[in-house]
Amino acid sequence: MKRTFDAILLLGLRLNPDGSAQEEMLLRSRKAAELWKAGTAPVIVACGGPTGGSGRTEAEVLKEELVSLGVAESAVLLEDRSMITTENIVNARKILGADRRNVALVTSDYHVFRSRLICRRLGFRVKGFGAPTPGGQARRDNRRLEAMFTADMLLGWDARDKKRPKWAETLRRRVAMPILRRRGYTIPEHEKKNDRQEG
């Protein structure tokens, strides 16, 4: 593949408690390394801040994996402050500057649609490349969460000054919160209170 993009934008994923990458994140790295080796773009922006509690950043772990797959260390730029997809892309835009807006986006297959929409909203010309997602319960959970996050974005409920209607808030608590608890995310006290009231 000839060079057609200014950069490959590689989105991270929550780390394991010991600071290692989940299998899904390794699959994203492999897809990005494959594109870089094919000459798709000269640099990869590895995105993701500290998650999992180890103090390591997703970007740092992604870079280690990319280098182990044969990507030149100098070709990997780090965006190591973000905690969510929108922050990944906002911060990557700052790193790339105004003259590098044509990107190849690499994330998990179920995550491409929403991530591409965010990229376009922020002024990128983008093509998405989805890494395969491991099967099982995690895959089913990811698809449910992503459908809810996408609906929030399309309906404008992701904005801090917007409030979901009561039916949507109840659905979010019933579907999203149990998944996030299983994954070890801390649920804010006001969410726990709401859960008790709803239940």
Q: What pTM was estimated for this model as a whole?
A: 0.81
For the segment 114-132, the average pLDDT, to the nearest whole number, is 95
Compute the distance between CA of residue 152 and CA of residue 85 in angstroms, rounded to an integer: 13
pLDDT bracket for residue 58 (50, 70, 90): very high
Q: How confident is the model at residue 118 (pLDDT cuts 50, 70, 90)?
A: very high
* 33 beta partners: none
Could you give the CA distance from residue 161 to residue 164 in angstroms, rounded to a whole number? 10
pLDDT surpasses 50 at 140: yes
Nearest alpha carbon to residue 31 among 152, 119, 112, 122: 112
pLDDT digits (tens, 9 = 90+) for 70-108: 999 999 999 999 999 999 999 999 999 999 999 999 999
Question: Could you report the per-residue pLDDT of 127-136, keeping only the tens digit for each?
Answer: 999 999 887 7
Q: Per residue in 152-186, pLDDT tens?
A: 777 776 665 667 778 777 777 777 777 777 766 65
Residue 60: what pLDDT? 97
The share of the chain scoring above pLDDT 90, in percent, equals: 61
pLDDT for the residue 2: 62
More confident residue, 145 or 186: 145
**pLDDT confidence of residue 173:** 77
**pLDDT at residue 188, rounded to an integer:** 47
Q: Is the pLDDT of residue 64 over 80?
A: yes
The H or E element spanning position 151 is: helix 137-155
pLDDT for 3 beyond 70:
no
Task: Quote the distance between the C-alpha of residue 59 and its chain's center.
Answer: 11
**Six token digits for residue 186:** 């801390």
Q: Which helix (H) or strand (E) holds 36?
A: helix 23-37
